[in-house]
Amino acid sequence: MLYFNLNRFPMDFKIKDTDGKARVGELILSRGSIRTPAFMPVGTQATVKAMFPENVKSLGADIILCNTYHLMLRPGENLIKELGGLHKFMNWEKPILTDSGGFQVMSLSGLSKKSNEGVEFQSHFDGKKHFLNPEYSIKIQKKLGSDIIMCFDDCASFKSDKSDIALSMKRSMEWAVRSKEEFDLTNGGLLFGIQQGGIYEDLREESTKRLIDVGFQGYALGGLAVGEPQNQMFKILDASASKFPLDKPRYLMGVGKPDDIVGAVLRGVDMFDCVLPTRSGRTGQALTRRGPVNIKNSRHKYDYRPIDPDCNCYTCLNYSRSYLHHVFKSGEIISSMLMTWHNLHYYQELMSNIRDAIINKKLIEFINEFTKLQNSGDLSLI
């Protein structure tokens, strides 16, 4: 079987420092460098909701995530290509990673029918039938102009039994081969393989070996943070993360909560994405070093203090809890903007602090202090 020599691609991933299994690195791409551990804000439909691209950049994001499934349905990959590619289309000059669409197909399983060839599904927009398989997913991502392309995978439900998860994993590995065969280097993107296997260490190990045999420029762990307890996710990361090649970036897909990220970094993961900071911002929840703050609660109605007195984000420097409570309760658009701004600032500051802790060989001390603050709860009532 013919594989492309991915080592010809002008990519460089440098591990600059370590503390235990945790790594500080730099993934150097043609559109910019990504400092790792890195958090990628999610711009599913070519927008990080409630944020201007320049503001996302100013908060420290080196890369964002967009989604193949949603963009193929609306506005369509051909339109985006005709208008100069995804970066120009959404006015984002830095790297973009595109999810393959596999998770969305799983999450909308009531509208889909899977086979070894691919997935036939109905659009959740208009009910029209579509077909997505490894070859088409890669073609779409290349038309979008993605910097990091993900293999098309089969993400089984957490509630599936082991035999079904095993079949799903094997299908994902076959699809990984087909994804790589479709992939070429002409658009300047990287190709990441995706490990599957649910919460079963033997399936994860088989998946890892098969992906390494094929060879990818980065490796992702998929099918986690989909309902399993955190300790089970960490157990899989303990068994899996360090078995990927040391010189390749490791990406934990769809994660996550701040304590999920901290625990995964401790276990050797380099890259993360999650809708939590943006979705929480739109629903009135601020994420802070002292844990979540629900701004919709009446206790904030007369509170003149910022969300976090120790935060220097635009929101905390300029607006009180009282104002944020008011605009949320009033349904004002600025509520989503200000809350999302704070949350993304918090996440990027968290990643920066993690990187500093690893460099200074003080990650355990950082985690202990992080956990203590997260468990301390919100500020006392005024």
CB 208 within 8 A of CB 172: no
| 356 in active site | no
Long-range contacts of 241-248 (CB under 8 A, 24+ apart): 241/21, 241/267, 241/268, 241/269, 242/21, 242/267, 242/268, 243/205, 243/208, 244/208, 244/212, 244/219, 245/212, 245/219, 246/15, 247/13, 247/15, 248/13, 248/216, 248/217, 248/218, 248/219
The span from the CA of 325 to the CA of 296, in Å, is 6
The span from the CA of 201 to the CA of 206, in Å, is 9
The span from the CA of 100 to the CA of 41, in Å, is 16
First to last CA, the chain: 69
Residue 43 exposed, middle or buried by CB count within 10 Å (0-12, 13-18, 19+): buried
Residue 157 exposed, middle or buried by CB count within 10 Å (0-12, 13-18, 19+): middle
Picking from 259, 190, 194, 139, the residue whose alpha carbon sits closest to that of residue 34 is 190
DSSP, residue by residue, 83-107: TT-HHHHHT--S-EEEE-SHHHHHH
| 99 in active site | yes
Which residue of the set 19, 153, 260, 273 is catalytic?
Answer: 273
CB 36 within 8 A of CB 270: yes
The b-or-e profile of 296-335 (16+ CB within 10 A means b, else e) is eeeebeebeebbbeebebbbbeebbbebbbebbeeeeeeb
For the sheet containing 129-132, what is the strand order? 112-114, 119-122, 129-132
The span from the CA of 50 to the CA of 336, in Å, is 6
Which residue of the set 62, 99, 154, 270 is catalytic?
Answer: 99
The span from the CA of 242 to the CA of 325, in Å, is 44
Query: Which positions are catalytic?
Result: 99, 273
